[in-house]
Chains A and B, each alone.
Chain A
C-alpha cells in the first residue's frame, strides 16, 4: 500500500517570502499522480497543483511550483511571494495512475501560517 508522509506539522513564512513544504511517499509503482491540496479555514479542499510521475518537468502554477524527485520519492511544494491568503492546511496526496477508482492517499498535512 502507498503511504504519504508530511514531516512538517506547521510552517511559518513572512509575507512576500518563499516557503517549501515537504512530502515524501512510498510506492512500488512507476506511474502515478501526485497532488497538493489546500484547505483554508473554510474547509474547502482546493487543488493547488498536480504532477504526473512520467513527466520529468516540474509542474508550475503561478506562484506555486513543485520539486519532484522520483528516485527519492519526494514531492515538495514551493510557494513564492507568499500572501496572507496562502495561510491554510496543505495536503500532499498520491494517486495510482490506472486501475479502478484511482483512490487518493493523503498525508497528514502541514499548517502554513503567513505573517506580516
Chain B
C-alpha cells in the first residue's frame, strides 16, 4: 500500500536554483494538495488540484507553480529558490467523491535553500 509518495525526501538547493517536487498517489483520488510546514506553524496550503488538468492557489502560492498532467501526479515547482522557501513540504490527496474521507499525507520533503 504505497498511498502518497513524495520524491525526493531531502534536498539542498542554492538560492536561484530551480527544482520540482513530485507527488504520486495510487488511490485514484481526484483532489491533491501541496502544503508547507514551518517551525511554530501548522501546515499551510500552497496550491491544490481538484482533478487532472486543474490547479488553484492556496494560502501561500507565491514563488511556486504546480501542474497536474496526470491524475496520479501533482508536481510542485520552484523556479528560483529563495531562503524563505526552506521548509518541509507535504503532499496530500483525497477522494473527491466521498466527502467524509480525510486527506492522506505523504511523508514530506525537507528542502533547504542556502
B54-68 near A? 1/0 per residue, CB < 8 Å: 001010000000000
Q: A45, B105: Cβ atoms under 8 Å? A: yes
Given contacts A102-B31, A102-B94, contact A91 B102 (CB under 8 A): no
Given contacts A43-B88, A43-B107, A44-B105, contact A103 B42 (CB under 8 A): no
Q: A47, B102: Cβ atoms under 8 Å? A: yes
Report the bound CA distance from A33 to B101 in whole Å. 10
Interface size class of A (residues with CB under 8 A): 20 to 34
Q: B107, A104: Cβ atoms under 8 Å? A: no
B29-53 near A? 1/0 per residue, CB < 8 Å: 0010100000011111100101000
Instruction: Count chain B residues whose beta carbon lies closer than 8 angstroms to a beta carbon of A.
Output: 24
Q: A101, B50: Cβ atoms under 8 Å? A: yes
Q: A102, B99: Cβ atoms under 8 Å? A: yes
B35 to chain A, nearest CB (A): 8
B86 to chain A, nearest CB (A): 15
Q: A45, B33: Cβ atoms under 8 Å? A: no
A28 within 8 A of B: no
Q: A104, B43: Cβ atoms under 8 Å? A: yes
Report the bound CA distance from A102 to B93 in whole Å. 11
Report the bound CA distance from A37 to B50 in whole Å. 22
Give the residue among B33, B40, B100, B103 with the most A Cβ atoms within 10 A. Answer: B103
A11 to chain B, nearest CB (A): 16
A53 to chain B, nearest CB (A): 12
Q: A108, B100: Cβ atoms under 8 Å? A: no
Give chain A interface residues in 26-67, CB to chain B under 8 Å.
33, 35, 37, 42-45, 47, 50, 52
Residues of B within 8 A of A43 (CB): 88, 107-108, 110
Report the bound CA distance from A109 to B42 in whole Å. 6
Report the bound CA distance from A58 to B62 in whole Å. 39
B114 to chain A, nearest CB (A): 21
B90 within 8 A of A: yes
* A-B CB proximity, top 9 nearest: A106-B42, A45-B105, A43-B108, A106-B43, A47-B102, A108-B42, A101-B48, A107-B42, A100-B50
| Chain A residues within 8 Å of B, Cβ to Cβ | 4, 33, 35, 37, 42-45, 47, 50, 52, 91, 93, 97-98, 100-109
